Amino acid sequence: MNVKPIRPLIDNYGRRIRKLRVSLLDACNFRCVYCMPLNPVFMDSSRWLRPDEIEKVCSTLVDFGLEQIRLTGGEPTLRDDFRDIVLRLSTLSLDKLGLTTNGWNLTKELDFLNDSNCKHINISLDSLTKEIFNRITKRDYLDKVLDSILSAKRLGFHVKINTVLMRGINDHEIFDFIKFSAEHDVEVRFLELMSIGQVSGSKDKLFVPASEVIQMISSREELTGEQSKCDSTSFNFKTSSGASIGFIASETLPFCHNCSRWRLSADGFLRVCLMSEKGIYIRDTVPEDYKLILNELLKMKPYRKIERVEQDMYKIGG
């Protein structure tokens, strides 16, 4: 359990910042169509925050009331010092330390993670069929990702699958995912495609609203709603067939009014909102300046949803 913060981060709308997404790098070995171009230009690794710098920023934010950290990217497990970073963050007084990954390299890390405090793993998986998986990610790694999911489950991790639904590409697999969830006791969260980067101006023909998916599932299954925290990004159901499903409806049901999250980029830009490019570089911030800078950041966080952002997700840290 977290200790009482010395100065909680609460903005003028009463939103308390208690979650941080930490992007370890922008590079990735997949090329998901909605996330990055085929030939992306990645940040030079010399710009990445070092493990001690990441630890310093995170531990300072814990003093200000941060409760949860999730490592992301790009693909966070690709960093050579991934374990050093996890070990350092494992020592912080957090309620939750999590990881969002494409699952490609995960089996190798599971024993290590099991010995750390990082027990919450979200794995992205947009298709259960090879051909479609390959078409979306441009890589032939479905078996590796499935192996990661099942191995992580076996070891007792809290595993969630993130599935971005796209019309005409993978939306016919919704019931396959439900079956997979029930069979393997793993939660599947259906994400609305967001107007970010690659798809910011062209997502409409691919977009599937969560309401449509819920209606479709309800025609075959009974859905029982589950309780979730007010700043949760997803709303969740149990299905009559035993699946656990969730929806992240960032486009049609934005949760900005309850958002409790900031993001730290791989090179130390503390960003207040996924959809806004506002933020401050804090790499070289000295302890006595933190209060001032964090107060500035609190003022920058938008209250209403911003329609689109040109920057790609892999650069922001998803």
Nearer to ligand SAM, 56 or 308 (CB): 308
The smaller minimum CB distance to ligand SF4, of residues 190 and 314, is found at 314
By CB under 6 A, what part of segment 181-220 binds ligand SF4? Answer: none
Q: Which does 193 bind (CB under 5 to 8 A by kind): ligand SF4, ligand SAM, none?
A: ligand SAM
Binding map of ligand SF4 across residues 109-128, x = CB under 6 A, - = no contact:
---------------x----
Residue choice 28, 243, 264, 266 for contact with ligand SAM (CB under 6 A): 28
Asked if residue 272 lies in contact with residue 300, where contact means CB atoms within 8 angstroms, the answer is yes
Between CA 286 and CA 95 the distance in angstroms is 26
Rounded to a whole number of angstroms, the minimum distance from the CB of residue 36 to ligand SF4 is: 5
**Closest Cα to residue 246, out of 254, 255, 237?**
237
Distance in Å, CB of 260 to ligand SF4, minimum: 23
Find the DSSP H helices in the chain: 51-63, 82-90, 106-115, 130-137, 142-154, 174-184, 210-218, 290-300, 313-316
Structure tokens given for 183? 């069979």
> What are 303's two structure tokens?
């209250």
Report yes or no: 207 and 199 within 8 Å, Cβ to Cβ. Answer: no
Which residue from 21, 16, 22 is spatially nearest to 2, judged by alpha carbons?
A: 16
Of 62 and 313, the one with the shorter C-beta distance to ligand SF4 is 313
Q: How far is the CB of 105 from ligand SF4 (least distance, A)?
A: 11
Residues of this chain that bind ligand SF4 (CB under 6 A)? 28, 30-32, 35-36, 73-75, 102, 124, 313-314
